[in-house]
């Protein structure tokens, strides 16, 4: 029997996201954009609806709010109302409008030092691979939707913060074939996605990967989530970087795109209310055949685990057994869900840091072959 979905009834964080983060999100959207009065009024009304109103049936809405008609937002599953909030914002501001574009550009700009410090001209070894895979993990700390209610622990370090590390298993897996086809299910603009592209570049230069595909969002989602057009912005910024190695790296990324060694894709699933157990058939077929999928971020992790209240010691490998390729999830903990942690260790972590499951300090690297 499956555990219940995460909701404000069983997760204080889910309640906080609705009561704190939603209002700040809307305030930031209004502040960062020069919307006309009608849009501002609608956005403010959305805050009031989310906090105090009830859900209205709308059979034309793909989120199917009719299933919760008459209920308060806070009485619905966490991921459903959280993703619906962003869908409603998109509907209000209009198709083709990205209300987060200014913040995402700031993320790309602020990532320059991270990129310069992460790029390497070392030979590809298990040590260099480990360094870059870990950089891809910790780059995921930079998440603007999370930072509206929790601090970003960008400078927190220590081996104890990486609670599960399957990096050695991933390295051994990649050695079997020797030249691999990689998929990345991307997350945030800035250091997060830059680290993914640095890793791909290193694998390409040393022939451990021959091609890669990065799946990005098709529409604005969760503030800093990256779309294909955000990569264009990033390359324009890094083409003009002061650091020579950064400029050279941006040039190589352009070349890979032209050669179609690196392909950027999007799919509506990634901005939907569905979890990976509802993966669309055609998208699932598209993900088959990759030698490794790197799934980034807390939100994708939640969706891999179906956003349910699993016991902490449940096996990650068992939950994601049906994923259509070998997969490694790189995730900094920003929500009340985790797998593969013994009940004793979870209790000790709670005693040490009551918010360990959602404050973004700690991370996991979990692999399913």
How large is the average pLDDT for residues 143-158? 50
| Residue 122, pLDDT above cutoff 90 | yes
How large is the average pLDDT for residues 24-43? 97
| Residue 12, pLDDT above cutoff 90 | no
Sheet with 209-216, strands from edge to edge, namely 162-165, 363-368, 327-332, 292-296, 180-185, 209-216, 262-266
Could you tell me which residues are beta bridge partners of residue 216?
266
CA-nearest of 60, 80, 79 to 68 is 80
| Residue 66, pLDDT above cutoff 70 | yes
Q: What is the total residue count of the chain?
A: 369
Share of the chain above pLDDT 90, in %: 86
Band (pLDDT 50/70/90 cuts) for residue 356 is very high
Band (pLDDT 50/70/90 cuts) for residue 149 is very low
Model pLDDT for residues 327-343, shown as the tens digit of each residue: 999 999 999 999 999 99
Q: What is residue 141's predicted lDDT score, i.e. its pLDDT? A: 85
Among 147-151, 166-170, 221-225, 348-352, whose mean pLDDT is lowest? 147-151
The four Cα atoms 88, 335, 264, 238 give a dihedral, to 10 degrees, of 100
Angstrom CA distances, 369 to 42, 293, 335, stand at 47, 10, 25
How large is the average pLDDT for residues 49-61? 90
Q: What is residue 156's predicted lDDT score, i.e. its pLDDT? A: 54
**Cα–Cα distance measured from residue 276 to residue 102, given in angstroms and rounded to the nearest whole number:** 30
More reliable by pLDDT, 53 or 294:
294
Q: Which domains does the chain have, with CATH numbers?
A: 12-93 (no CATH), 101-368 (3.40.50.10880)
More reliable by pLDDT, 48 or 145:
48
| Residue 244, pLDDT above cutoff 90 | yes
Among 51-55, 126-130, 265-269, whose mean pLDDT is lowest? 51-55
Provide CB contacts within 8 A for 343, sequence distance 6+.
Answer: 311, 312, 313
Model pLDDT for residues 153-182, shown as the tens digit of each residue: 455 556 689 999 999 999 999 999 999 999
| Residue 147, pLDDT above cutoff 60 | no
Model pLDDT for residues 271-300, shown as the tens digit of each residue: 999 999 999 999 999 999 999 999 999 999
How large is the average pLDDT for residues 140-155? 54
| Residue 152, pLDDT above cutoff 60 | no
| Residue 151, pLDDT above cutoff 80 | no
């Amino acid at each position: 029997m499956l555990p219940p979905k995460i909701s404000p009834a069983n997760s204080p964080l889910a309640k906080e996201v609705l009561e704190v983060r939603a209002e700040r999100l809307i305030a930031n959207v209004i502040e960062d954009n020069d919307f006309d009065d009608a849009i501002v009024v609608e956005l403010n009304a959305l805050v009031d609806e989310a906090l105090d109103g009830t859900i209205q049936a709308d059979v034309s809405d793909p989120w199917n709010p009719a299933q919760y008609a008459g209920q308060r937002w806070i009485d619905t599953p966490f991921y459903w109302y959280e993703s619906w909030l962003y869908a409603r914002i998109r509907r209000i501001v209009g198709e083709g409008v990205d209300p987060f574009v200014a913040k995402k550009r700031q993320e790309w700009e602020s990532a320059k030092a991270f990129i310069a410090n992460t790029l390497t001209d070392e030979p590809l070894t298990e040590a260099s691979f480990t360094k870059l895979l870990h950089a891809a993990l910790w780059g995921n700390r930079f998440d603007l939707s999370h930072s509206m209610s929790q601090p970003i622990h960008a400078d927190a370090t220590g081996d104890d913060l990486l609670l599960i590390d399957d990096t050695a298993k991933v390295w051994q897996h990649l050695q079997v074939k020797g030249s691999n086809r990689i998929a990345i299910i991307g997350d945030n603009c800035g250091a997060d996605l830059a680290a993914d592209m640095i890793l791909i570049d290193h694998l390409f230069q040393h022939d451990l990967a021959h091609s890669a595909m990065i799946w990005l969002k098709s529409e604005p989602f969760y503030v800093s989530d990256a779309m294909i057009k955000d990569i264009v912005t990033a390359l324009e910024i890094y083409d003009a970087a002061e650091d020579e190695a950064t400029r050279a790296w941006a040039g190589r990324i352009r070349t890979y795109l032209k050669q179609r060694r690196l392909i950027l894709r999007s799919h509506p699933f990634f901005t939907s209310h569905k979890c990976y157990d509802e993966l669309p058939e055609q998208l699932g077929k598209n993900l088959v055949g990759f030698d490794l999928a790197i799934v980034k971020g807390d939100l994708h992790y939640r969706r891999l685990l179906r956003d349910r209240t699993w016991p902490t010691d449940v096996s990650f490998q068992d939950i994601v057994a049906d994923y259509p390729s070998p997969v490694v999830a790189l995730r900094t903990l920003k929500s009340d869900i985790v797998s593969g942690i013994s009940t004793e260790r979870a209790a000790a972590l709670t005693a040490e840091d009551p918010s360990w499951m959602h404050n973004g300090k700690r991370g996991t690297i979990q692999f399913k072959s």
